[in-house]
Structure 1
């Protein structure tokens, strides 16, 4: 079973708490840049940052420099890439590129969607073990699709990986289960042993369409129950909108809410 990196293990009093850069939205990132975002997080007391590949320029190449900027501010890194691990009957062609980028960043883990898992008998787990040997821990996330965000295929993939001795863990996105019609608590009960990282976001229905939102107190109470089925002190990240004039103060408040779950 993959172990989450020690630099994100938090303290004895509270878990490591991060913020995904996507929480600020594309417009804020474009207007202020990653340097400003990292300074907001450091000032707000975040333990780390989730760098989102889709918010970097397509031709971005200075992953070493970006990683150093995070390190200078004391921010641990999770790297999130949007390309999937599986493409029906093979590994996605971009997997090695994502692992190289994560390594150059100095990321403690790399998070990607599972994609279309082909099934254990069609998977060369030994080949994947070899590719992951020198890379940060790889965590597949339940996304908002039926093939990559429902309980059965995710469970099959993680259980097969464990049986094959392949270091594959899970990012558990609390909100995404609502998009695929799954119960987050039932998912936590079944997948809890594989979870190494927690994505937190509230969910509301807006004219029949779901969207991420700041969690209300009722949602936080439900999350507290869910956490009992996950590893103790699992690192968690804000992945819901952070908007307003004083983003440092707003971020600090939301970090405190998650730490006190």
Structure 2
């Protein structure tokens, strides 16, 4: 079992000006195996990316990268920024980089050649179910990954984001069953529904999803990440222990 902490956990501190590089030591002290940094949280990529990499190496931590952008633009063309994102990933010393799919439904080119030049043998590319109908449905994800693997892009994988299924109205259990073969990474957060509004609680056991049952459907040898804001290290430690008690770590 490999447990990653996504820096959304520390959102309150980030909003106060804490840099993600300064969170690396904290993640290590909390007993996680790695940190997933979010591109939108960086203020100065040139200085912060190398610092994250340095501190992660010192703490023997895995680094993953969440990029809030799409693989395919509105017209179906491949996002021209991908090469830059992968260069950032190389600076970080990444294992995994994550995107949303975007408009693969409008892509008309040769899929394998479109990804030529990206260091897919060095950094694992994954797509996530986001909160949109374009990229956040089983059909959209499976259609893209089926095509990618048929084109020889067999290293491409999927991030199962539990909480996001509530926002797209998807069936989290059926999604787990259908997308399990492609699942390389599991993002855990629950979702509350109150007065018709959805929210993200600070506790895996609070919400509409039976996360224990759902992870039993998914591969148990992939990375897990906790990805929901928490108030302090005491709460984070409690949630880490809750998770580890269930997976037998």
Deviation at 1:130, TM superposition (A): 4.1
SS at match of 1:236: strand
- Name whichever of 155-164 and 84-93 sits farther off: 84-93
SS at match of 1:85: strand
Pairs within 5 Å for 1:188-203:
188-203=176-191
Q: Is the 8 A contact 1:119 1:157 kept in 2?
A: no
Q: Which residue of 2 aligns with 1:260?
A: 245
Q: Which residue of 2 aligns with 1:249?
A: 234
Pairs within 5 Å for 1:159-174:
159-166=146-153, 167-174=155-162
Matched, 1:56 2:35: no
Matched, 1:65 2:22: no
In the superposition, the TM-score normalised over structure 1's length comes to 0.85
Distance 1:102 1:195 in 2: 21
Tell me which of 87, 103, 107 is aligned to 2:94: 107
Matched, 1:240 2:225: no
Q: Using a 3 Å threshold, how does the CA distance of structure 1 residues 95 and 211 change in structure 2: closer, same or farther?
A: same
Q: Is the 8 A contact 2:4 2:36 kept in 1?
A: yes
Pairs within 5 Å for 1:129-168:
129-166=116-153, 167-168=155-156
Q: Which residue of 2 aligns with 1:96?
A: 83
Tell me which of 174, 185, 189 is aligned to 1:186: 174
In the superposition, the TM-score normalised over structure 2's length comes to 0.89
Structure 2: segments with no counterpart, 5+ residues: none
Q: Using a 3 Å threshold, how does the CA distance of structure 1 residues 24 and 133 change in structure 2: closer, same or farther?
A: closer
Distance 1:131 1:221 in 2: 36
SS at match of 2:102: coil
Tell me which of 212, 229, 236 is aligned to 1:224: 212
Structure 1: segments with no counterpart, 5+ residues: 1-14
Q: Which residue of 2 aligns with 1:127?
A: 114
Matched, 1:81 2:67: yes
Q: Is the 8 A contact 2:70 2:102 kept in 1?
A: yes
